Chain A
Amino acid sequence: MPLNRHLLRTCETGRSAAVSGSLPDPAYGGLFRLPDKGERTRPEWSVLDMICRERRWLKRGTETIFGMILSIVLLTACATAGGEGGGDAASGPTRTVEHDMGEAEVPTQPQRIVALELPYIDMLASLRVSPVGLVDDGDPENLIPEVRSRIGEWESVGSRSEPNLEQIAKLEPDLIIADNDRHAAIYDELSAIAPTVVFTARYAGYEKTLDVARQVGDAINKTEEMNAEIGRLEGRLDELSRADSEGDGSHSLAVIPRERGTAQVLGEGSYVADILDRVRVPYAPEAAAYPADADSASTGLEGLAEIDPAVLFVMTDAETTMKPWESSEVWRKLTAVENGDVHAVSRALWTRSRGLVSMELIAEEAVELFDGR
C-alpha cells in the first residue's frame, strides 16, 4: 500500500534525524545524548519504533479508522434526516432566508425561536416576539429589564460562547438565530437541530445594527413590522437629538474599566459612539485613534487624562466598577470627576444588548446625562 510505504519512509527519516540530532552537548551535561546500551530509549522513539516495525498494526489501524469514519458519516446522516423529519413545525410551509453563511429553509411563521446572542433577543423583543430559548450566560440580569418584561418567560440554553446543544434540541425549535462571530463553528450542529440563520451583530455600529435588525425581521417573516419599528426608532432618535452638537466644545467619552485601573476606550465608529453621534451628543475626537470594532486595546488613566472629556460614561456591572480608579490622584484631577460628570451606566444596556430596544434607552440616557452637565 503506497500510503503505508510513504509513512514508513517518513518514520525512518524522522528517526534518523532524531538520532543524528542527539550528539552529546558538553555545556548541558550531556542531557541530549544517545542512550547507552541497555538503557531505555526515549518514549517518542519507542512509538516510532512501534509504528515502523508493526506495519500490520498500522494496516489494522487504517481499517479501524475507515470503519469509524463510515459509522460517523452514517450516524450524522441519520441524525440530520431525523432532525429534518422530526418536529411538527418543520412539516409546514417554508421560505428561503439568506444569511451570512448561506441560505436556510425557515418555516413561514416560526413559532419556537432560539436566539444565541443578546442583540437578536433585543431585536425580537422590539417586535414583542418571545424566543422560547435564549442565552443568558446563567444570569437573567444579563438581559436588560425592558427586554425581559417584553419577552416574558424563557428557557436558558447556556452561555453565548458555549450554548448547550442538548438543551436547544430539547426545546424543539423551528428557528435558531446564531452569531457569525461566535457560532460559525457549530453551524452544522445547530442546523441539524433546526433551520439556523447566522448574522453578525457583534461589534456592529449603528447602521449595521439596523441592517441586522432588518435581517432578523426577514428571518421571522416580519419585514414590515421590523421596518415600521426601525422607522419609529429613527423618529424617536430625531426627537431626542440635541439641537446643537457644537455648543461649548464639551465632549463625552465612553469607557469600560479593565483590570487594575486600565480602561478600554470605545473608539469612534463603535456602537456607543455611533448612537451618541446619532443624537448629537459630541464624542471626543481623540477616540478616532481607538478601534471601533475590537475590545482588545486598552489604555491607562494617563490616556483618559489626555482626552479629559467633559462627560464620562463608564460601563459598569457588578464586577466591573470604577473602584480601582477612585484612589488615583490622576483620576480625581479629571475634569469630569471634578465636575461630578462621571456617570456609571449599565454595561448590559450600553454594550451588550445592542438592539432597537436598548438603542432608544441609551440615546435617552445619554442626552439627559450630557445636557445635565
Chain B
Amino acid sequence: MLRSRSTLLFGLLVCAVFLAAGLVVSVNFGVAGIGVTDVVRAFGDYDGSRDDLIIRTIRVPRALAAALVGACLAVAGAIMQGITRNPLADPGILGINAGAAFAVVTTVFVFGGTASSTFAPFAFVGAAIAATVVYGIGSMGRGRMRPMRLAIGGAAVAALLSSFTTATLVLSEQTMDTIRFWLAGSVLGRDLELLQQISPYVLVGFALALALSRQVTALMLGEEVASGLGQKTGLTKSLAVLSVVLLAGSAVAVAGPVGFIGLVVPHAVRFFVGVDYRWILPYSAIIGGIVLLGADIISRVVLPVHEIPVGVTTAVVGAPFFIYLARNKVSQ
C-alpha cells in the first residue's frame, strides 16, 4: 500500500486542518452557554469578562490537553506495536498506565489531594519505573528480547501494580474520592501550567520517535531484517521504549489512564498510509489528537450538564475495535 510522497503529504495537511477544526469546535462546546461570537471576542477583543475567562483559562487548555494526550498515546501505541510486533500492543501493555496510576495514587495517599499539581512528575516516574521493570523482564534469560516475553511481562507487571493501586484505595477512601475522575481518564479542568510542565518531555518523546521511525519500520518487518540492515536492534528498542515512556507517561500524567487511543489510531493510520513509520508517526499524532478531541466533545454532549470522563467514551468506542482486532488480526 505504497502511496506517493505528495499524496501522503497532502493527506497530512488535510488531517492537520481537521485537527484545527476540532480544536475550534471543542472550544465552542461547554456547559456555559457561550456563543461563537463570544469565542471570537475572547480572542479578538479580550475584556476579562467571565465568558472570556472561561474560554481562555478553561476551554482552550482543555482542548489543547485533549489533542496533546491523544497525539502522545497514538504515537506511543504505534511505536509499541512496531517494536513488539504485536497488533494488540498499547501503552497499557508495557504496564505504563498501571505504573503511572500507582505512582499518582501513592502520591495522593501520602501527600493528600492538595498535592494535585504535582501529579505530573510522579506519574511520569511511575511510568518509567514500570517500563524499565517490564523491559528488564523482557530481556532476561537467554537470547534476545522476545516480543511475547515483553508483552507477558507487561501484563504481569500491570496486574501487580493495579492490585497495589486497589489496595491503596481500599486503605483510604479519601484518596479514592480525590482521584476518582483521574482514574477513569479525564481532561476536565486541566490548565496551561500543567501542559507547560509536561511539554519538554513530550517534545523529546516526539523527536526521539520520529528519529527512530526508519529503524522501527525495519523492526516491524522482523528482527532478522533489521539486523541484516546493520541495525543495532537492542539500542533501537531501548530508545523506542524511552520515547514510549516519555510520551505515554506524560499523557497519563495529564489525563489519567485513557485507554484504546494507542491501540486503535495506529491501526487506522496503517490502513491508509501503509507500513512506513516515517508517515505512520506524524499521521498517528494528528489523528490521535483529533480522536481524543472528538471523544472529549462527545463526553460533554451525551449528558449536557455533568461530564463523563473521556476515558469512558474512548473505551466504549475502542472496546469493539479491540474485539475485532483480537478476532481477525490475531487469529487469521
Given A162-B170, A323-B114, is A300 in contact with B331 using a C-beta cutoff of 8 Å? no
Find out whether the CB atom of B305 lies under 8 angstroms from the CB atom of A262.
no
Given A328-B57, A330-B54, is A28 in contact with B116 using a C-beta cutoff of 8 Å? no
Interface of A toward B, CB cutoff 8 Å = 21-23, 25, 27-32, 137, 159-162, 256, 258-262, 265, 286, 289-291, 295-303, 305-306, 317-321, 323-324, 328-330, 333
Find out whether the CB atom of A260 lies under 8 angstroms from the CB atom of B86.
no
A-B contact pairs, 29 of them (CB 8 A): A21-B330, A22-B331, A27-B275, A29-B85, A29-B223, A30-B222, A31-B86, A32-B330, A161-B170, A161-B173, A259-B116, A259-B179, A259-B182, A259-B189, A260-B190, A260-B191, A260-B194, A262-B181, A286-B305, A289-B305, A295-B177, A299-B31, A299-B307, A300-B58, A305-B32, A319-B174, A321-B113, A328-B57, A329-B57
A289–B305 CA distance with the chains assembled, in angstroms: 7
Name the contact of B33 in the complex, choosing from A21, A161, A289, A306 (C-beta under 8 A).
A306
Find out whether the CB atom of B306 lies under 8 angstroms from the CB atom of A289.
yes
Find out whether the CB atom of B331 lies under 8 angstroms from the CB atom of A297.
no
B88 to chain A, nearest CB (A): 10
Find out whether the CB atom of B113 lies under 8 angstroms from the CB atom of A259.
yes
A27–B58 CA distance with the chains assembled, in angstroms: 44
Name the contact of A300 in the complex, choosing from B188, B223, B304 (C-beta under 8 A).
B188
Find out whether the CB atom of A302 lies under 8 angstroms from the CB atom of B32.
yes
- Please indicate the chain B residues that have their CB under 8 angstroms from the CB of A333 in the complex: 50, 53
Name the contact of A306 in the complex, choosing from B31, B87, B181, B307 (C-beta under 8 A).
B31
Restricting to B54-68, which residues have a CB under 8 Å from any CB of A? 54, 57-59, 62
A321 to chain B, nearest CB (A): 6
B2 to chain A, nearest CB (A): 15
Find out whether the CB atom of B304 lies under 8 angstroms from the CB atom of A289.
yes
Find out whether the CB atom of A290 lies under 8 angstroms from the CB atom of B330.
no
- Please indicate the chain B residues that have their CB under 8 angstroms from the CB of A306 in the complex: 31-33
Task: Tell whether B168 is near chain A: CB-to-CB under 8 Å.
Answer: no
Find out whether the CB atom of A262 lies under 8 angstroms from the CB atom of B188.
yes
- Please indicate the chain A residues that have their CB under 8 angstroms from the CB of B331 in the complex: 21-22, 32
A14 to chain B, nearest CB (A): 13
Most chain A CB inside 10 Å of its own CB: which residue of B58, B87, B147, B186: B58
- Please indicate the chain B residues that have their CB under 8 angstroms from the CB of A31 in the complex: 85-86, 147-148
Task: Tell whether B117 is near chain A: CB-to-CB under 8 Å.
Answer: yes
- Nearest chain-B residue to A306 (Cβ)? B32
Find out whether the CB atom of A28 lies under 8 angstroms from the CB atom of B58.
no
- Nearest chain-B residue to A289 (Cβ)? B305
Given A291-B306, A302-B32, A320-B113, is A261 in contact with B50 using a C-beta cutoff of 8 Å? no
Find out whether the CB atom of B57 lies under 8 angstroms from the CB atom of A320.
no
A286–B305 CA distance with the chains assembled, in angstroms: 9
Most chain B CB inside 10 Å of its own CB: which residue of A21, A159, A259: A259
- Please indicate the chain A residues that have their CB under 8 angstroms from the CB of B189 in the complex: 259-262, 300-301
Find out whether the CB atom of A302 lies under 8 angstroms from the CB atom of B181.
no
Task: Tell whether B282 is near chain A: CB-to-CB under 8 Å.
Answer: no
- Nearest chain-A residue to B329 (Cβ)? A25
B272 to chain A, nearest CB (A): 15
Most chain B CB inside 10 Å of its own CB: which residue of A298, A301, A302, A323: A302
Name the contact of A137 in the complex, choosing from B114, B173, B182, B329 (C-beta under 8 A).
B173
- Please indicate the chain A residues that have their CB under 8 angstroms from the CB of B220 in the complex: 29
Name the contact of B305 in the complex, choosing from A137, A260, A290, A296 (C-beta under 8 A).
A290
Find out whether the CB atom of A302 lies under 8 angstroms from the CB atom of B31.
yes
- Nearest chain-B residue to A21 (Cβ)? B331
- Please indicate the chain A residues that have their CB under 8 angstroms from the CB of B304 in the complex: 289
Find out whether the CB atom of A258 lies under 8 angstroms from the CB atom of B180.
yes
Find out whether the CB atom of B31 lies under 8 angstroms from the CB atom of A330.
no
- Nearest chain-A residue to B58 (Cβ)? A302
A242–B153 CA distance with the chains assembled, in angstroms: 64
Given A258-B178, A328-B57, A330-B58, is A299 in contact with B170 using a C-beta cutoff of 8 Å? no
Find out whether the CB atom of B32 lies under 8 angstroms from the CB atom of A298.
no
A164–B62 CA distance with the chains assembled, in angstroms: 43
A315 to chain B, nearest CB (A): 10
Name the contact of B54 in the complex, choosing from A21, A290, A302, A318 (C-beta under 8 A).
A302
B122 to chain A, nearest CB (A): 13
Task: Tell whether B14 is near chain A: CB-to-CB under 8 Å.
Answer: no
Name the contact of B306 in the complex, choosing from A30, A162, A299, A323 (C-beta under 8 A).
A299
Find out whether the CB atom of A319 lies under 8 angstroms from the CB atom of B30.
no
- Please indicate the chain B residues that have their CB under 8 angstroms from the CB of A302 in the complex: 30-32, 54, 58-59
- Nearest chain-A residue to B175 (Cβ)? A319
Find out whether the CB atom of B178 lies under 8 angstroms from the CB atom of A259.
yes
A267–B107 CA distance with the chains assembled, in angstroms: 30
Find out whether the CB atom of B112 lies under 8 angstroms from the CB atom of A319.
yes
- Please indicate the chain B residues that have their CB under 8 angstroms from the CB of A28 in the complex: 85-87
Find out whether the CB atom of B181 lies under 8 angstroms from the CB atom of A259.
yes
Task: Tell whether B221 is near chain A: CB-to-CB under 8 Å.
Answer: yes
Please give 13 more A-B residue pairs, beta carbons under 8 A apart, in addition to A30-B222, A258-B178, A318-B112.
A31-B86, A137-B173, A162-B170, A259-B178, A259-B181, A259-B189, A260-B119, A262-B189, A299-B31, A306-B33, A323-B114, A329-B48, A330-B58
Name the contact of A297 in the complex, choosing from B117, B194, B306 (C-beta under 8 A).
B306
| Interface 0/1 of B283-323, CB less than 8 Å to A | 00000000000000000000111110000000000000000
- Please indicate the chain B residues that have their CB under 8 angstroms from the CB of A301 in the complex: 54, 58, 189
Find out whether the CB atom of A319 lies under 8 angstroms from the CB atom of B85.
no
A329–B332 CA distance with the chains assembled, in angstroms: 56
A65 to chain B, nearest CB (A): 26
Find out whether the CB atom of B222 lies under 8 angstroms from the CB atom of A320.
no
Most chain B CB inside 10 Å of its own CB: which residue of A290, A296, A298: A298
Name the contact of A298 in the complex, choosing from B53, B172, B307 (C-beta under 8 A).
B307
- Please indicate the chain A residues that have their CB under 8 angstroms from the CB of B148 in the complex: 31
A227–B6 CA distance with the chains assembled, in angstroms: 82
A295–B48 CA distance with the chains assembled, in angstroms: 33
Name the contact of B332 in the complex, choosing from A23, A259, A295, A300 (C-beta under 8 A).
A23
- Nearest chain-B residue to A31 (Cβ)? B85
Restricting to B145-197, which residues have a CB under 8 Å from any CB of A? 147-148, 170-174, 177-182, 186, 188-191, 194
A134 to chain B, nearest CB (A): 15
Find out whether the CB atom of B306 lies under 8 angstroms from the CB atom of A324.
no
